[in-house]
Structure 1
Amino acid sequence: MLRRLALTAVTSFAVLSAATPAATAVTGHLPLPLPLPVPGLQGDDATRKTQLTVTVSDSGDRTADGVYELKCLPSGGSHPVAHQACDRLAELAEPAGDGRNPFRAVPADTMCTQQFGGSATARVTGTWHGQRVDAAFDRTDGCEIARWNNLRPVLPNVR
C-alpha cells in the first residue's frame, strides 16, 4: 500500500510539474499548490497504528491461554512473540498479501469442511493499521481453522 501511495504521489507531482509551465504561459504566475502529506512517507503512523488485545481460551496449552497486549511500530506489549506477530500483521496489510482483512468473519454462505480443530477460542480487539478490530475466532470447521492459522503467530499454534 505504501508503494502505491508513493507512486501516486510521484506521478501526481510529475503531472503538476509538467502542467505548471503551460498554465503560467497563458495566465501569468499561479500560486503553487501546497504539498499534501503522503501517509507513511511523512511519518504518519496513525494510519498504520496497531494496538490489539488478544484473549485466548481453551487452547489446551496453559502457556498460550491468557490476555495479551500487542503493540506495533515499535513491537511491544505482553504478547509472547510480539515482533513476529507485528511482522505477520504488516505482511497481511501489504498489497502482496491476499488483500483481505484477516479479522473479517467468514461469510455465512461459505462452504467449509466439517472438521473440528479443537475447543480453542480467541478474541482480538483494538486497532490494526488504523482500522477498528473486534473479531472472534474458533476452530469449529475448516474455514475457521484456516482463518485462525492465517493469523499465526498473533494467535497461538494450536493443534
Structure 2
Amino acid sequence: MFKALVIASLYNLSDEQLEFQIEDRRSFQRFIGLSDAKHAPDRNSFWLFRESLKALKLTETLFNEFNRQLDRAGLIARKGQLIDASFVKAPVQRNTPDENARIKAGETVEDWSASKRSQKDTDARWTKKGDKSYYGYKNHVNVDNAHKLVRKYTVTDASVHDSQALNGLLDSGNTS
C-alpha cells in the first residue's frame, strides 16, 4: 500500500486514478508486488490506508525510511535541489467575524455543537498571490534535481510565506 502511495505522489494521481493505473500498467503492478492474478486495491483502501498512517503518526517515519533506502541504493541527489510550494485548497468556512477572531487566537468556539466542530477546518488560512485569494494550506517541497523524488516536505497553512519553510527544506549536503 505504501508503494502505491509513492506512485500516486510521483505521478500526482487521485485514488481513483491510482486504482485504474495499477490495473492498467504492468510496471506499476511489478513495483507494488502484484501478480497477474491479483487486482489492485480500490480507491477507498488507499484513502483508508493514508488516513490510518495519519492517525498513527507514521507518515513522516515511513517517508524518512523511504528516503533512507533510496540513499542506501545510491539514489542520493548531488545535482541540486528544487524547492517549491503549492496551494491546497480547503472548503471556505462561513464563520462570523467573532468566530474567526477566536479561531485565529487559538480558542475553541464553544457555541458550536460537537458535530459542527467536526465539520469546521480551523487550521486553514487565507492568503493572496497576485490578485487571487486562496484558502487552505501550502505544501512546501524539496525535490532532488537528478531523480525528481521528494526528499523533504512540510505542510503549513496558506498564510505562511514560502521563505519561512525554506531553512527546514534545504539539504545543506546538496548545495554548493
Check whether TM > 0.5. no
Question: Is the radius of gyration larger for structure 1 or structure 2?
Answer: 1
Provide the TM-score with structure 1 as the length reference: 0.27
Provide the TM-score with structure 2 as the length reference: 0.25
